[in-house]
Amino acid sequence: MTRFLIVDDDPACRRLVQHFLAPFGRCDLAYDGNEAIGAFRIGLDAAEPYDLVCLDIMMPGTDGHQVLDAIRRLESERGIFGGSAVKVIMTSAVSDRKHCIRAFREGCEAFVTKPVRQQRLLAEVGRLLGEVASPVRRQAAAAASSPALPGCGPAEESARRPRYLIVDDDGVCRELLKDVLSIYGQCDFAYDGLEAVDAVRLALEDGTPYHLVCLDIMMPGSSGHASLEAIRQVEAERGVHGSDGVPVIMTTALRDSKHCVQAFREGCESYVTKPIREDELLARMHELHVLMAE
């Protein structure tokens, strides 16, 4: 039986990939990088190696790049190289050329951006696993001509449900916001300011702009202030101005009027202090007309 290892810190993403792959083999799940490395080592030690690993890049702690490096070292220690090595598909919420190039240099075989689409994933699995994956290839072909499943992120689904971008370098804050917002729309994540700007740019280029950005101010590198300015610049370059731009709710742990005034001057629509209260966030979203119950 084909064995898959699905590695992602986002439970919704794990379930989605598992849903796609479960008809074709056994799916094991890992919730972070360290768990993935442990599961892979156990598989090798038990002479039951995985055939394919779906590996998220952006994870707290041990990220996907580090996991891939550890997987290749474990294989090397056991004399496993080349075509005998496990096939790895890297996944990422941001289509970042830097991460993509690095992933291939480190030894992955494919790169798939999120939201993961059934047709694309199964096409890559079928290509990588060859003859053992003929049912996968048939399913991928069928997916190309049939409606996508709810939550997979096709254009029509994105048009029906609001798209929210959560930007915060703190994993706990991202999870709290996701718990609130995922009820009302599709949640994407950025882990710093640069990723946030890239995500907004890609969404505009794909014709699926975000309906709301929750943007933390205090982040290393590019702060929320710098990111907001860059987001408005990206929109302006595409002829998007004023109320046509994505509504932005700034978040911060600092109750500092200076930051608040600066955020509004830079073009945010609302401001929420941490710890974020669900009722306050939903009230702000209601005011901005970006709240839609399922």
Which pLDDT score is estimated for 48?
93
Residue 18 has pLDDT above 50, yes or no: yes
pLDDT > 90 fraction of the chain, expressed in percent and rounded: 37
Pairing mode of beta strands 3-7, 212-216: unpaired
pLDDT > 70 fraction of the chain, expressed in percent and rounded: 84
Rg of the chain in Å (alpha carbons): 20
List 56's β-bridge partners, or say none. Answer: 91
CATH number assigned to the domain covering 3-144: 3.40.50.2300
- The residue type found at 33 is G
List 30's β-bridge partners, or say none. Answer: 7
Burial 21-42 (b: 16+ CB within 10 A, else e): beebbebbbbebbebbbebbee
Which pLDDT score is estimated for 228?
92
Distance CA 123, CA 143 (A): 10
- Structure confidence by residue, pLDDT tens digits, 20-54: 898 889 999 999 999 999 999 999 999 999 999 99
Can you read off the two tokens belonging to residue 119?
Answer: 């047709």
Distance CA 98, CA 267 (A): 29
Distance CA 190, CA 91 (A): 14
Which pLDDT score is estimated for 158?
42
Residue 19 has pLDDT above 90, yes or no: no
- Kindly report the number of other CB atoms within 10 A of residue 110's CB atom: 20
CATH architecture group of domain 161-287: 3-Layer(aba) Sandwich (3.40)
> Where in the sequence of the chain do the CATH 3.40.50.2300 domains occur?
3-144, 161-287
Going by pLDDT thresholds of 50, 70 and 90, the confidence category of residue 16 is confident
Which pLDDT score is estimated for 257?
63
- Structure confidence by residue, pLDDT tens digits, 212-252: 999 998 888 788 889 999 999 999 999 998 888 999 999 88
- Structure confidence by residue, pLDDT tens digits, 61-105: 999 999 999 999 999 999 998 889 999 999 988 666 777 788 888
Which pLDDT score is estimated for 153?
40
Which pLDDT score is estimated for 135?
52
- Structure confidence by residue, pLDDT tens digits, 129-149: 874 445 554 554 454 444 333
pLDDT mean across residues, the chain: 83
Going by pLDDT thresholds of 50, 70 and 90, the confidence category of residue 155 is very low
- Kindly report the number of other CB atoms within 10 A of residue 293's CB atom: 6
